[in-house]
Structure 1
Amino acid sequence: MAKIIIFGIQDFAELAKYYLDTDSEHEVVAFSVNEQFLPEEKSFHGLPIIAFENIEEQYPTTEFKFFAPMSPQRMNRLREEVYFKIKAKGYELISYISSKATLFDNIIGDNCFILENNTIQPFTSIGNNVILWSGNHIGHHSTIKDHIMFTSHVVLSGHCTVENYCTLGVNATIRDGLTIGEGTFIAMAASVIKDTEPWGMYKGNPAVKSEKSTKDL
């Protein structure tokens, strides 16, 4: 059991507190945001909101841990920045894995938020700072790298690699053996049958690449 500080005070943070309170051994003790975003009322769900810049003065790294399940703004690069700032202060980040998810001794990194009804098949690994919203199927012998978000009901077939910074939309389907290039955005209900190019946007069935680059997001 660890005492947890959650980064953020929006929907993802509120959901994280609920899941940790009801389906983990951890105790949420505070929230934290950058000082410029501190609300006038420095309390959220009855817990203090502390400025991140000097949080270690009140919550030492030896006694508290962090959890930062943020939304995938700027193709997960904002989440990456916060993740490394927390690590730079010396905090350990926990992962939350729902008791209703199905796993098979998978390797899973830190600061992952894995919700109910995800199936992660054998011989598949999950990197750091990954969000798997509810109901995804992650096929066998696959590699999910870092700073990635799967929304809901994505089907990733076996022997796939998902590179850093990708976001996969609701009901997207990925054929077996593919590499999803760094920074790829796959739209809702897209059916991907070929490797994707880095920082590309893909939609449709079969999925085709948009002229827009996700580097601009």
Structure 2
Amino acid sequence: MGKVIIFGTNDLAELAHYYLSNDSAHEVVAFTVHEQYLKEDSFKGLPVVAFETLEGAYPPTEFSLFAPMIGTKMNQLRESVYLEGKAKGYDYISYISSKATLFDNEIGENCFILEDNTIQPFTRIGNNVILWSGNHIGHHGVIKDHVFFTSHVVMSGHCIIESHCFVGVNATIRDGCTLSQGTLLAMGACLTSKRTEPWGVYIGNPAKLKEGKISHEVF
């Protein structure tokens, strides 16, 4: 527990500030953005500083980072910020809501896990993962790095979610399925096939592969 700088000044940063201030022992002391997006010198009554020079004002030996960003470019933008912070020497905190249900799960850093998530026993979660509110994460599963679950997703037992996946609202994943790297499972989709194609888009019930692959440059 300690002093934290939040990356961003958008809605997710504001939400992160609220959750950390009201449901954690961490103290938010500042916000940071890349210099080209530095339009104001304060946010929520706290300083906003350029990410490029952050370590000069807030050295990584004394402060931690938290980067709760949206899933732009299939979470690759959030990954790049996360890795940039690691290269500067920062540790990242994770926020796990006191209203989430866990069972001694292994959870990595820079995770943002909101209220009413149920994470069943023997499931592991990697780094830089966002689980929005109200998801069921089944037993003996693995969610790897840089993944975004929206709300009310059901992930059944023994599933593997590879890196850079994005899962839409009310999607369902059958037990024993693997979402390959960069899978986009659309809102309301019901996945029954055992393995998806990397960087594929799956829609419908049962979920089918949409023609074409995700363009990393425009998503």
TM-score, normalised to structure 1's length? 0.98
Deviation of 1:13 (Å): 0.5
Summarize the alignment of residues 17-56 of structure 1 with structure 2, pairs less than 5 Å apart: 17-39=17-39, 41-56=40-55
Alignment size in residue pairs: 216
Deviation of 1:213 (Å): 1.2
2:60 aligned with 1:61? yes
Distance 2:95 2:175 in 1: 27
* Partner of residue 209, structure 1: 209
* Partner of residue 198, structure 1: 198
Unmatched segments (≥5 aa) in structure 1: none
Summarize the alignment of residues 98-117 of structure 1 with structure 2, pairs less than 5 Å apart: 98-117=97-116
Summarize the alignment of residues 1-217 of structure 1 with structure 2, pairs less than 5 Å apart: 1-39=1-39, 41-194=40-193, 195-216=195-216, 217=219
Q: In the TM superposition, what whole-angstrom CA distance separates every residue of 1:107-133 from its partner, at most 9, and x where no partner exists?
A: 000000000000000000000000000
Deviation of 1:2 (Å): 0.6
Deviation of 1:98 (Å): 0.2
- Once superposed, what is the RMSD of the aligned Cα atoms? 0.6
Distance 1:112 1:206 in 2: 30
In 2, are the aligned partners of 1:130 and 1:147 still within 8 Å (CA)? yes
TM-score, normalised to structure 2's length? 0.97
Deviation of 1:42 (Å): 1.0
In 2, are the aligned partners of 1:183 and 1:215 still within 8 Å (CA)? no
Deviation of 1:215 (Å): 3.5
Deviation of 1:214 (Å): 1.7
